[in-house]
Chain A
């Protein structure tokens, strides 16, 4: 009886998975079709006449290497900066008592709740004023003010038993030794997966770069996509899907490599004590 009822659940789960993963499969499949086949053989997962021409075209017509490089620079810079500052700030919030600590933490964490749209206009003016429009630096800077890292890494640090820190302190270890030798190794999985998520999110950032970047040579990947979509000349779904696939590769790859870390960190990122 149990086996049968489980089968029912499994069917349901597989169906849900099918729905959520199908668009990705379609994207990959369409990117290898010719335009006419994309229209005539919509459901075919394996193209009748597989072609690389979409990929060749997007790499020929767009500075896609440069665009990928830009995306990489943006994502890497944002990730490195945010991880470092988050670890530093989280450490201060967990292991120090200082005046205004709770208020400061409250204020910082509150910013998670402010949708970016709400600070978009002034940020736009700031970036314009310091001449960073159409510059990936202008894309990077506002992304740095994000408190989720502080939140997640603080959660991880709080789960380290205090006696470990106290034992180290008894042996006269300094703050930086404690941080480097005890805290960091223990929160490493959390830091890595937070970093990966930062990287992926920044990689996928769309709203802000759309406002800031002008030249195709300065584009990031999600922007490259719109070169093939919704213009007066129509949408070339095959090219759009090819760009989509290029955009997906790195986040998917990173996820598949670090899947265990990420899943475990978020599984335990729930709110305990």
Chain B
């Protein structure tokens, strides 16, 4: 299995810096997701691993060997393209085994691998069709089959599901995980869809403007985002972030202030954090019907209906904040009272925008509720 190391990797197109000093390691056999908005450099990163893009500077290692100058074909990898890149003039079977044929692999071996791939991806009966006679889902599975038969140690997937409709996507996600469990290759998977990232990835690397923002497990990325960008990027709607201050056990947001639990006071006080950014996910804001002690007040702006719940957007001291709720009857302009789940509160440094970390209790007690 392959371990891949990026060491100060940069990529420039002319003067444009596309990838800015990438340093991270992809562990052998893991499913790594490269996540980011379009143009963030995630596809370029994948293509550099594939050898389809030159590396401007820095080193890329596979299993300890520098591969900057090794051509794609020599890296022993497979890849699934966003548009599948099936050979239109070849049948499904030929598409799947073309790469093997070129490598002069024994015929018997080829046909057994083909059989296995056809079975695994439920392509039986389609072997002699041309790609143009297949549905989108079928094409996608042919592309996967083509990548799978190669039995390479590294499988690269470039938004492989983005051309499928929602239902097929759910099915295909399961299929991908199944493939990984069967062959245990290293998976590197590019997507802009956080649900895919969360469901498929062992780890998620989030890129923004060519820089690696974070690389961590899906759970940590969601629950303990390393910086403001990650916090906002993951989750739908993203995390609320607003400027806040700490003074003498009190959390101050604009003119409002409430008392913090002791573990936070100690934690923040110890770090001498006067002003910072406070992050809280919409589902960790508890709405109340009337004003209580320790609750904040905001003014409702509008309500978004999601079906199972709704998003309530309100103004808090000049910041737009969204909370999950069920009360769709709230009228814009009315006051709204709420508290924050202190165990799910995130504090980011004002300068570096990095997470300052969490008091002990937050780590251990995910379910411990203590409102602020």
Contact = CB atoms under 8 A, between A and B. Distances in A.
A40 B183 CA distance: 75
Interface of B: 54, 69-71
B6 to A, nearest CB: 19
A8 interface: no
Closest 5 CB pairs of A and B: A1-B69, A1-B71, A2-B54, A2-B71, A1-B70
A1 B72 CA distance: 11
Contacts of B70: 1
A151 to B, nearest CB: 26
A1 B69 CA distance: 5
7 contacts: A1-B69, A1-B70, A1-B71, A2-B54, A2-B69, A2-B71, A3-B54
Interface in A8-33: none
A218 B71 CA distance: 63
Contacts, number: 7
Q: Is the interface of B mostly helix, strand, loop or mixed?
A: loop
A37 to B, nearest CB: 45
A1 B71 CA distance: 8
Nearest to B54: A2
Contacts of B69: 1-2
Contacts of A2: 54, 69, 71
A27 B69 CA distance: 44
Contacts of A3: 54
Interface of A: 1-3
B66 to A, nearest CB: 12
A153 to B, nearest CB: 29
Contacts of B71: 1-2
Contacts of A1: 69-71
Nearest to B69: A1
A1 B54 CA distance: 10
A262 B71 CA distance: 36
Nearest to B71: A1
B71 to A, nearest CB: 6
A84 to B, nearest CB: 39
B68 to A, nearest CB: 9
B88 to A, nearest CB: 13
A3 B55 CA distance: 11
A3 B69 CA distance: 9
A239 B67 CA distance: 60
Nearest to A4: B69
A3 B54 CA distance: 9
A2 B68 CA distance: 10
A167 to B, nearest CB: 28
Contacts of B54: 2-3
A42 B54 CA distance: 45
B338 to A, nearest CB: 52
A3 B71 CA distance: 11
A1 B70 CA distance: 7
A49 B116 CA distance: 78
B15 to A, nearest CB: 19
Nearest to A3: B54
B62 to A, nearest CB: 15
A3 B53 CA distance: 12
Nearest to B70: A1
A47 to B, nearest CB: 40
A43 to B, nearest CB: 38
A62 B54 CA distance: 59
A87 B194 CA distance: 53
A11 to B, nearest CB: 20
B52 to A, nearest CB: 10
A138 to B, nearest CB: 51
A62 B71 CA distance: 62
A2 B69 CA distance: 7
A272 to B, nearest CB: 13
B312 to A, nearest CB: 43
A31 to B, nearest CB: 40
B83 to A, nearest CB: 19
A21 B54 CA distance: 33
B234 to A, nearest CB: 37
B218 to A, nearest CB: 36
A2 B48 CA distance: 13
A2 B54 CA distance: 8
B57 to A, nearest CB: 14
A3 B56 CA distance: 12
B73 to A, nearest CB: 11
A5 to B, nearest CB: 9
A273 to B, nearest CB: 13
A40 to B, nearest CB: 48
A12 to B, nearest CB: 19
B252 to A, nearest CB: 58
Nearest to B68: A1
A229 B72 CA distance: 57
A59 to B, nearest CB: 48
A2 B51 CA distance: 10
Nearest to B51: A2
B290 to A, nearest CB: 59
B17 to A, nearest CB: 20
A1 B73 CA distance: 13
A2 B71 CA distance: 7
